[in-house]
Structure 1
Amino acid sequence: MPSESVSDADLIAAARKVQSRAHVPYSEYRVGAALETADGEVFVGCNLENANYSNSLHAEEVAVAEAVKEGHSELSRIAVSSDRRDGVTPCGMCRQTLAEFCDDDLLVLCDEGEGEAPSEYTLGELLPNAIAEGMLE
């Protein structure tokens, strides 16, 4: 039986909390992500920059990796927050990573700041026509 889902506010709070662990010496732009799996577990990630920019990891990727590492492959929603509370959405690369593990209806919550409701999107809205496994055959 699936666990009870956490509230949107708690998911945003988890994304905000993990931002303090971000390693961002180049952009100084902290991002946190909190990913809820289909069975209600929450995994978090923060961005990790590297002097060789292409080796940097994004918060959403780290959260997905944590969930998959623990045996979860069904995702239900993700909250994304930057330290600027600017409604940041996952970048294209992160959207494609999410698409590997969920359907177009994955709910994406984007932190707009204190007292503001998060912006809500589905992954399908953010990444229409994603590259899928069946396309690579």
Structure 2
Amino acid sequence: MIVEVLIQNIQDKIDITKNIENIMENAVEFCLVHEKIEKPSEVSILLVDDEKIREINNEQRGIDSSTDVLSFPIVEMEDGEIKSNLGDIDMEENIMLLGDIVISLETAYKQANEYGHSFERELAFLTTHGVFHLLGYDHEDKESEKNMLNKQEVVLGKMGLKRQDYEEDEILDCEILVRKAIEEKEKAYAPYSGFKVGAAVLTETGNIYTGVNIENVSFSATNCAERTAVFKAISNGERKIRAIAISSDSEEIVFPCGICRQVILEFGNKNTKIICSNNNGDYKVYNLEELLPYAFKKIN
């Protein structure tokens, strides 16, 4: 599945980093995967301030007040109907245009402080809220509101942004990480072994970082895909890893080497998920403790 997320920031009150953009992009993709939408899709996200979203709200809905998020689907659907009507939606350049989401960063920042969670978590929540509206879900009554909220929280749980008091079991979406590892594998530099490996790391903030093995003629200077992905995450300011998926050209499921397991532990814990897969996308999930029972411990 190809997902294109077009993000435009037209406000200057809240700074937007690449990390925040990645979280919103991941939120869109996780929603579409959760709803089993496989066609190439495009979602536009406009980031504004309170005054601009009040203006849009008044123009489009006749409500003269600011809000946190607005959604404008390309095709109006009833709850969930879009899932069975994708083939009827016009395709432009083979991409299904789902619609536009408008988010007030001012309100998102205020709400994050009010609810006691991170700004990133609030933006992911508002993005998922907007996407599910584009997919035809609504919250006009208590039952539909509960259904939509459940879907949002499941997706946020998959991203590692689960609300602490939420009752649903946290679900790790292994398939997304495996798919990204397989896609990334093609970029590997492996002229000596011919053995390409890709990895995808999911961090506590909900971001996904990918990496490949990079070989060197001296062999000892070679870097494994797992460490490439982890180091990319750490270089972007991440410090905690929830899960990592590994894939190779082999039909056999591939496992991280000992050094990579120790590196993963440095930024994870004994329960960090290691998703080992093959070139067909088959995978098995292990806790890090299962693969590294006698690890070197960090000094507190």
Matched, 1:132 2:282: no
Matched, 1:90 2:256: yes
RMSD: 1.6
Who is 1:120 aligned against? 285
Who is 2:219 aligned against? 53
Bigger Cα displacement from structure 2, 55-64 vs 78-87: 78-87
- TM-score normalised by structure 2 residue count: 0.43
Who is 1:29 aligned against? 195
SS at match of 1:54: coil
Find the aligned partners of 1:57 and 1:96 in 2 and give their Cα distance: 14
Does the CA contact (< 8 Å) of 1:48 and 1:58 recur in 2? yes
How many residues align? The count is 134
Q: Cα 1:14–1:115, aligned 2, differ >3 Å: closer, same or farther?
A: closer
Matched, 1:80 2:80: no
Higher relative contact order (CA 8 A, sep 6+): 1
Unaligned 5+ segments in structure 1 are: none
- Per-residue displacement from partner, 1:33-64 (whole Å, max 9, x unpaired)? 00000121000000000000000000000000
- Return the index of the structure with the highest Cα Rg: 2
* Cα distance, 1:113 vs structure 2: 4.7
Q: Cα 1:68–1:115, aligned 2, differ >3 Å: closer, same or farther?
A: closer
Find the aligned partners of 1:23 and 1:73 in 2 and give their Cα distance: 26
- TM-score normalised by structure 1 residue count: 0.91
Unaligned 5+ segments in structure 2 are: 1-117, 125-155, 160-172
Task: Give 1:125's aligned amino acid.
Answer: E
Does the CA contact (< 8 Å) of 1:112 and 1:119 recur in 2? no
Structure with bigger helix share is 2
* Cα distance, 1:115 vs structure 2: 6.6
SS at match of 1:100: helix
Q: 2:265 aligns with which of 99, 107, 126?
A: 99
Q: Displaced runs of 4+ in structure 1, greater than 3 A?
A: 112-116
